[in-house]
Structure 1
Amino acid sequence: MEFHPPIVERRKDELIEIANFPDKWQPEAVEQAKAELVKRSVSVKEQEKTAEKLIRKYQAEQKCEMKKRAMVSYDPIELFFMFLRLPATILWGWSLKSEGYAKLHKQRLWVIASALLFYMGILLFFFLYSAPKAEKARLKLIEEQDISEWEKNYFGEAKDSMQIKKSSR
């Protein structure tokens, strides 16, 4: 298999990296790098020394990356849209802290808490203030209806209660 640049043309440090960190490279590249190191007469001790340097370099890069991630934050527009689309904010993005985004994680939790309080406040306002007003208006409308025609049809012509008492004496 051909690689670009070819394994044969790579520096010694690159070959050691390929040979000693096989999980980052294709198996064919690892085999070619090992063969090239043998061809160049690079000792195992030298490979181990270089591999240790590379490990320290990777660890330093990782530490630096984690420090950068810890300082990343959302801009206000992103926070606003997270606030508006609360269900999506709640369902996704829970791996921020484990990925090193401590500030993003805290901001996300604050947005979720404030959005929940806001939406609960709206619901409480609706149920405690608007709903009783609507019910009062409905009851007033019912009381204002004239049902005398319905009463006549249902009960018939009712005599006045005073006339009934006089005739029964």
Structure 2
Amino acid sequence: MEFKPPISARETDDLIRIANFPDNWNPLAVEQAKKELLIRNVPIDYENKKVAVLNRYDQKRKEIAAKRRAREAFEWHDFMFDFHHVLLEMLCDWDMKKNGYITKHRQRKYTLSIISLLILIIYVYWNFIK
């Protein structure tokens, strides 16, 4: 498999990042990066300080992404201009909270509760008052 840019053309720091964080990369890329580091006579855990910095950077990036997901919300214009997408997401995506979309999960819960209440009121009105 050929990657863009090719693994052999990447800088040593990129190869170290690929080799030390295999969960973030394609397994073939990890294997090629390790082979390329051996060709360049660079140990995989080269400069443990650099690996530690990269690890902290990666952890911080994940934390920021998680916070961003937690704050992401449906906007009023989403309901106006992209209603089908919002409706499908609200009805079909039951893993919002598990995936970190805390605000969207809360909005979905309230919206579905209000819709259920409206349907109940309409049903009662239609069958008992009319």
Aligned to 1:97: 97
How does 1:127-142 map onto structure 2 within 5 Å?
A: 127-130=127-130
How many pairs are equivalent?
A: 125
Return the letter of the residue paired with 2:9.
Answer: E
Shift of 1:97: 0.9
Return the letter of the residue paired with 1:15.
Answer: L
Return the letter of the residue paired with 2:69.
Answer: R
Shift of 1:5: 2.0
Structure 2, unaligned runs of 5 or more: none
Counterparts of 2:70 and 2:90, CA distance in 1: 21
Shift of 1:122: 0.5
Deviations 1:58-88 (A, max 9, x none): 2111110111112111122445748xx6xx6
Runs of 4+ in 1 over 6 A off after TM superposition: none
Instruction: Report if aligned partners of 2:16, 2:44 keep a CA contact under 8 Å in 1.
Output: no
Aligned to 1:11: 11
Instruction: Report if aligned partners of 1:89, 1:112 keep a CA contact under 8 Å in 2.
Output: no
TM-score calculated relative to the size of structure 1: 0.62
The CA RMSD over aligned residues, in Å, is: 2.5
How does 1:31-46 map onto structure 2 within 5 Å?
A: 31-46=31-46
How does 1:110-129 map onto structure 2 within 5 Å?
A: 110-129=110-129
Structure 1, unaligned runs of 5 or more: 131-169
- Aligned-residue identity in percent: 35
